[in-house]
Homo-oligomer: A and B are copies of this chain.
Amino acid sequence: MALLVDGHCHLTLAGDLDRPALELACSEADLPPPTGVSYLDGQLGVALRRWCPQALGLPAHARIDDYLARRAELGWRVASRALLRSADLSALLVDTGLQHDGLTSLAELGMLADAAVHEVVRLEQVAEGVAAEGVEASGFADAYTEALGARIRDGAVAVKSIIAYRWGLNIPPERPSPADVTRAAGAWLRDGGGRLTDSVLLRHALWAGVDCGLPVQLHTGFGDRDLALADADPARAQPFLAAVARAGVPVILLHCYPFHRNAGWLAQVYPHVYLDIGLSVGHLGARADAFLAECLELAPFGKVLFSTDAYLLPELYLLGAAQFRHSLAGLLDGWIAEDAMSTDDAEHLVGLIAGDNARRVYQLPDPAP
């Protein structure tokens, strides 16, 4: 399979890491596991040991302590470069809105991966930045528009909303009125700003994202424990999705699991709705085949996008890419073997999901010949 476009990912750690840090980065949990349980004893941990050791010169399924020793020996930079290059990615769309100490820069990540990098701007972070810089309530809406415009002017290819975390996907479909935005901004700013959870302001940011004309990536489905899972079903966002149908911007449902069948239906019936398989493929490891198959039930093949949603660990880029290639190939081999589709159909499908859909939706430059 050719190079992949990673349609949604994050920055990696510029530093070495110990086993507890590795374990926690391999889980959506924010606390260590109870005694006797390891977060590496799970699909993601097993898949990491399946796909990553080879990039560092170790055999597949190496013990995790051996792997970490080898990684430390090489140093984070060499290891990151080896892991990222083994992922064979042509372009990375990087959500730069997750704050963490000691991350690589966007340019550094691109060099390590030998791939083009494009920024994805997180809408809530822009709002929090506007509040931190100081603004009057009555000027918030304009200041937000201006700040967002400044952030996307440098080549951003998409915006992203994490309203699923902050409010849930029961998004009232109406745009909040300017008066409501001013009132909500007043209350938020009086409290000192900070983590944005006000539903009016979250929706304001989301509509500003729609207005700026770039594709909108929307977190849906599982994530870390901040999230109320029942509120993260993309089917709950249906009234909002219907409301933005006429805006002419693609909306990309990220992750989706375990609601990906619902997402597949949304991608079929709304011309502007797309389904991104990131995070899920990596976390599900050997079960990614089942997930991909379920995504490909109702979603048109032209609406499904690859990504890793990798964060912190370069391992997660390689794991996501390798597992995707392996699982999709297995699925298609099965369908070809039972004559469900022709080899040409299968190759066309792979090309769409691996990069053609992303290049079309995000208006990326064509791959080098």
Copies of this chain in its oligomeric complex: 3
Binds B, one of A10-18, A43-51, A138-146, A152-160: A43-51
Binds B, one of A75-83, A101-109, A190-198, A225-233: A225-233
Q: Is A199 interfacial (CB 8 A cutoff)?
A: no
With A262-B258, A298-B222, A300-B41 known as contacts, the answer to whether A286 contacts B28 (CB < 8 A) is: no
**Is B229's CB under 8 angstroms from A235's CB?**
yes
**Is A236's CB under 8 angstroms from B230's CB?**
yes
24 contacts between A and B (CB under 8 A): A27-B268, A27-B269, A28-B265, A29-B268, A31-B271, A34-B250, A34-B272, A36-B357, A37-B303, A39-B268, A43-B297, A46-B340, A50-B340, A225-B269, A228-B238, A228-B239, A229-B265, A230-B233, A257-B261, A283-B298, A286-B335, A286-B341, A287-B294, A287-B296
Residues on B with C-beta less than 8 A from A301 are 41-42
Among B28, B271, B338, contact of A33 (Cβ-Cβ < 8 Å): B271
Binds B, one of A117-125, A202-210, A345-353: A345-353
Q: In the complex, A266 Cα to B258 Cα: how many Å? A: 12
Residues on B with C-beta less than 8 A from A348 are 41
Among B42, B224, B262, B270, contact of A29 (Cβ-Cβ < 8 Å): B270
Among B29, B43, B258, contact of A269 (Cβ-Cβ < 8 Å): B29
Q: Is A57 interfacial (CB 8 A cutoff)?
A: no
Mask, A253-293, CB within 8 Å of B = 1, is: 00001100110011011111000000000011111001101
Residues on B with C-beta less than 8 A from A61 are 341-342, 344-345
**Is A349's CB under 8 angstroms from B41's CB?**
yes
Q: In the complex, A225 Cα to B270 Cα: how many Å? A: 8
Q: With CB as the reference atom, state the residue of chain B lying closest to A260.
A: B258
Q: Is A339 interfacial (CB 8 A cutoff)?
A: yes
**Is B298's CB under 8 angstroms from A39's CB?**
no
- Shortest Cβ gap from A257 to chain B (Å): 7
- Shortest Cβ gap from A262 to chain B (Å): 6
- Shortest Cβ gap from A340 to chain B (Å): 4
Which bucket holds chain A's interface residue count? 35 or more
Q: Is A330 interfacial (CB 8 A cutoff)?
A: yes
Q: Is A129 interfacial (CB 8 A cutoff)?
A: no
Q: Is A19 interfacial (CB 8 A cutoff)?
A: no
Q: Is A94 interfacial (CB 8 A cutoff)?
A: no
Among B42, B238, B242, B291, contact of A230 (Cβ-Cβ < 8 Å): B238
- Shortest Cβ gap from A263 to chain B (Å): 10
**Is B33's CB under 8 angstroms from A300's CB?**
yes
Residues on B with C-beta less than 8 A from A272 are 34
Q: Is A360 interfacial (CB 8 A cutoff)?
A: yes
Q: With CB as the reference atom, state the residue of chain B lying closest to A169.
A: B230
- Shortest Cβ gap from A308 to chain B (Å): 17
- Shortest Cβ gap from A71 to chain B (Å): 19
Q: Is A321 interfacial (CB 8 A cutoff)?
A: no
Q: Is A55 interfacial (CB 8 A cutoff)?
A: no
